[in-house]
Amino acid sequence: MKRFILSLAALAFLVPATAHAAGDQEVPPEHHWSFNGIFGTYDRAQLLRGLEVYRGVCANCHGLKYVRFRDLEAIGLSEDEVKAIAANYTVEGDVDSFGDPTTREAKPFDAFPSPFPNDEAARASNGGALPIDLSLVAKSRVHGPDYIHALIGLGYEENAEPGPTGLYHNPYMAGGYIAMPPPLFDDAVEYHDGTAATVEQMSTDVSAFLMWAAEPKLEARKAIGLKVILFLLVLTGLFYVCKRKLWANVEH
């Protein structure tokens, strides 16, 4: 038994040590997101701008396989706008009568496809590195949106050139080097609302968009949490009144 407890204690020390071993990167600065805190909500205008950055820049290398085009109605696009966006993408169709694979125009029920037919092709076009699917990256990386914002918005030096290994220095990436060329430069996209497309603006907007992609139900989750707390408070009050009533005639 003693041994068991001792090994448990040893494990408890080991876990943070291994977590540290992978993290030789800089901690990203904390950004003030509209969705932070218990009352936090997404800023729809920001999400729409983030979508524009994703489509205009990131989608050249990264897919979003868990985001369906029609999900975009939740951030304020109309059915027709969703249809028009989907029509810009090509997805795998059924096999034809000869058994050969076909492609077709994407429909609102499809998800954002990867621009590459498979991982091997993706690596071959990116110096051997895989541009991962971005659907869940805001939840799967420590510091989520702060990390993405720092990685693409702050981490590259101006006019960064790759080093001798073909990698770019970026202190926010584990190991300090990344195969992704700096994706953003001023005016890389033209925002529909006329916002100036600086690197800082675009990296913030697309990070917020990727947070929404990874957790579209964040607002509902927070609302339920608040209702549960309210309910528990009322219940506590009721129990207290009951207790007073029940014990009122009992001698102390």
Considering only residues 4 through 63, tell me which ones interact with ligand HEC, judged by CB under 6 A. 53, 57-58, 60-62
Total of residues contacting ligand HEC (CB under 6 A): 23
Radius of gyration of the chain (CA): 24
Q: Give least dist CB 129 to ligand HEC, A.
A: 4
CA–CA separation, 227 and 222 (whole Å): 9
Question: Which one of 51, 111, 206, 213 is in contact with ligand HEC (CB under 6 A)?
Answer: 206
* Cβ atoms 61, 115 nearer than 8 A: yes
132 binds ligand HEC (CB under 6 A): yes
Tell which residue, 65, 75, 69, has the closest CA to residue 106.
69
Instruction: Give the Å distances, CA to CA, from 25 to 102, 147, 185.
Output: 43, 10, 23
Q: Give least dist CB 130 to ligand HEC, A.
A: 6
Q: Give least dist CB 54 to ligand HEC, A.
A: 7
Residue type, 129: A
Q: Give least dist CB 217 to ligand HEC, A.
A: 21
Question: Which one of 64, 178, 211, 214 is in contact with ligand HEC (CB under 6 A)?
Answer: 178
183 binds ligand HEC (CB under 6 A): yes
Within 8 A by CB and 6+ apart from 243, the residues are: none
For residue 11, the Cα-to-chain-centroid distance in whole angstroms is 31
What residues line the site for ligand HEC (CB under 6 A)?
A: 53, 57-58, 60-62, 126, 129-132, 137, 141, 148, 151-152, 178-181, 183-184, 206
